[in-house]
Structure 1
Amino acid sequence: MSTEAEQVPGAEPAVQLAPLFPVLDTLRAVGALAVLTTHTAFQSGDYLGHGYLGTLLSRLDIGVAIFFVLSGFLLSRSYLARAALRRPPQPVGRYALKRLLRIYPVYAVTVVLALLLIPENDGASAGDWLRSLLLLDTYASARLPQGLTQMWSLGVEVAFYALLPLLMLVAVGRGGPLRPLRVVGLLMLLTAVSAAWVLDIGHRMDELVAGAPLTWLPAFLTWFSVGIGFALAHVVLQQRPGPPRAALALRDLGRMPGACWAMALGLLLVAATPVAGPALLFVSTPSEALTKNLLYAFVAGLLVLPGVFAGPGAFSQVLSWPPLRHLGHISYSIFCLHLPVLHLVMGLTGYPLFGGHGFTIWLLTVLGSLVAAELAYRLVERPAMRFAHRREPPGRAPALEDAPMTHATTATTR
């Protein structure tokens, strides 16, 4: 399905408030499975046992960058489209309720399972429970509870959700008009803040606080900015008969999915070299961390771009296949629940940490996570989303962020 609106000479701008991007559903599944794979590879010791391939497995945490680019695109596009149409943004309270109901129910279930069932979490205090349930672990400690270590990225997502209305107020004001250069200026500022945080500010903060500042939102604003930039290009292309060259260049590149994904793979291979820092949990130098951050921004952007702009063809047909899209719909639950499932797999099989059996651990974790995620999607996610939609005023057209592919989350996500 084309995501672009037709322009008729003399007609009003054909900016769509809620276009469909079916390929992006599948890309959420790609992100979730990449995160799952890097965690199983760590537990089995495959990071160390396969040389360069092991390092490449460690770089599959690129899934987090995919989530953040998707969240930046999907959530900002509604604001930019409304500005282009000179409409006010949706009320902040409604936006916040939908974000809360989208992510918190499954997260809370995961916290309860992890803290109750994983032996390493035995003896968790009331304060530990409260911090985890409020998603404050990364602000209070450098170490997260077992089974919840992936949730640092969800904390980043939530911080982005909270900041986004203010960012969009700065970028577009209240009710437009859309000024692309103003949005671009904001994105440049966010990128500069992110670079400064990774190179210097985050390290200084690390010496002053008990949490983990290098896993806070400022370190990853670049990834969200890539998604916001794509949203701006998409809206401008629908709004203007003669859009800027930069937007046209992005569209043309996005219409070449093979080239985009080939470049993404090449840059991911570069990220698996020492220029992007160590594979294991050793501290990177600031320059290595920034290099990895920027490489991931380009890799994730190149993977997502065809999902925004690619027209009809084999790429869109394959990635819009309903079973693959369904994996995207349950990807948030996969992301949340795969680590508790991984701990269960390690316990039931008796495989030691770093003791090999990587493929078996991966396969059992994938199968267990798919079952757990399907149950969570049907029993927790969908009821919560139905409740969120019942809170909408009668007859209101759905906004882009209401679409079923929205996580993040992805963060993880989204």
Structure 2
Amino acid sequence: MSTSAGAPPGNRAGAIDGFRGLAALSTVAFHVWQQYFRYDAGGSHPPVDNPLVGAALSLEVIDLFFVLSAYLLTLSYARAAIDGRSLRPARLFLFRRAIRILPLYVLAVLVVWASRNPSLPGNWRDLVEHLTFTHVFDQQRIFYTLGPTWSLSLEVLFYAVLVALGPLAVRACRPLRRRGSRVALCAAGCAVLYAAPLAWIAVAHYGLGVPHTDWVVYFGPQARFGGFAA
């Protein structure tokens, strides 16, 4: 995985990419399963003859994918904040991510959208939201066109948060003389970013009784950024 973050050397980078591949395959299997065995109106899992197969197919590990991606992408910021290493410009990082993601993503969205909207004007709002990665904020269209791309929207939003918070973490750590203090500050920041989504979900589910079908509440960045923070 080529990033400005500078992947871990040698076998560690390959192993992490391997785990990311397994997480991606699990997500594909999960959505194929959804396609052929749809959830009922109450949101319960559809019947599968073999309970072990059903459990395996329903185990979507997208959060593991978030954890591994965030580790690779934030490594340069962690090294810069803790060990004083140099940091590449944010624009270079964003350019590399755009080159890696946008061409295939835009092509896939246009092809699928055109096939589902054979006559113009079609659902132009859905198209615009997918091309701008904002469909994750739309209760009706979050899973339109290419349903699994809600997670890619979170990835893109994470990039924006990373280039905003990463340099701030580096500046905050510079006055600290002890390496342990810099590690503790970075860890505390990650802990806050991890706890905030947990608090959001707890309040939404237990405090306000928001149903699980309110997709934006439970699939938006305010609920799912804990995976990146981990």
TM-score (norm 2): 0.76
Q: Classify the secondary structure of the residue corresponding to 2:140.
A: coil
1:160–1:198 Cα change, 3 Å: same
1:19 pairs with 2:2: no
Deviations 1:39-81 (A, max 9, x none): 122222284122633541443311x112101111001111111
Q: Does 1:38 align with 2:30?
A: yes
1:213 aligns with 2:212: no
Unaligned stretches of 5+ residues in structure 2: 1-5, 39-45
Q: 1:83 aligns with which of 81, 84, 95?
A: 81
- Among 169, 172, 187, the alignment partner of 1:171 is 169
Matches within 5 A, 1:165-204: 165-173=163-171, 176=174, 179-200=182-203
CA distance in 2, matches of 1:57, 1:117: 32
Is 1:126 the equivalent of 2:121? no
What percentage of aligned pairs have identical amino acids?
24
Q: Secondary structure at the match of 2:59?
A: helix
Instruction: Give the Cα separation in 2 of the matches to 1:149 and 1:17.
Output: 30
- 8 Å Cα contact 1:138/1:212 also seen in 2: yes
Q: How far, CA to CA, are the matches of 2:126 and 2:22 in structure 1?
A: 32
Kept in 2: contact 1:89–1:175 (CA 8 A): no
Could you say which residue in structure 2 is the equivalent of 1:271?
none
Query: Does the Cα contact within 8 Å between 2:7 and 2:72 map onto a contact in 1?
Result: no
Q: TM-score, normalised by structure 1?
A: 0.44
Contact 2:106 2:131 in 1 (8 A): yes
Kept in 2: contact 1:197–1:218 (CA 8 A)? yes
| Code of the aligned partner of 1:191 | Y
Question: Could you give the per-residue CA deviations for residues 260-314 of structure 1, whole angstroms, max 9, x where no partner exists?
Answer: xxxxxxxxxxxxxxxxxxxxxxxxxxxxxxxxxxxxxxxxxxxxxxxxxxxxxxx
| Greater Rg over alpha carbons, structure | 1
User: 1:105 aligns to what?
Assistant: 103
2: CA distance, partners of 1:39 / 1:119: 22
- Return the structure number with greater relative CO, CA threshold 8 A, min gap 6: 1
- The alignment of Structure 1 onto Structure 2 pairs a total of residues equal to 207
Separation (CA, whole Å) in 2 of partners of 1:129 and 1:118 = 11
CA distance in 2, matches of 1:138, 1:199: 20
Q: Is the 8 A contact 1:115 1:121 kept in 2?
A: no
Deviations 1:192-219 (A, max 9, x none): 2011111125896x79xx9713211121
Aligned to 2:41: none
Q: CA deviation at 1:97?
A: 1.5
Change in 2 beyond 3 A, CA 1:211/1:220: closer
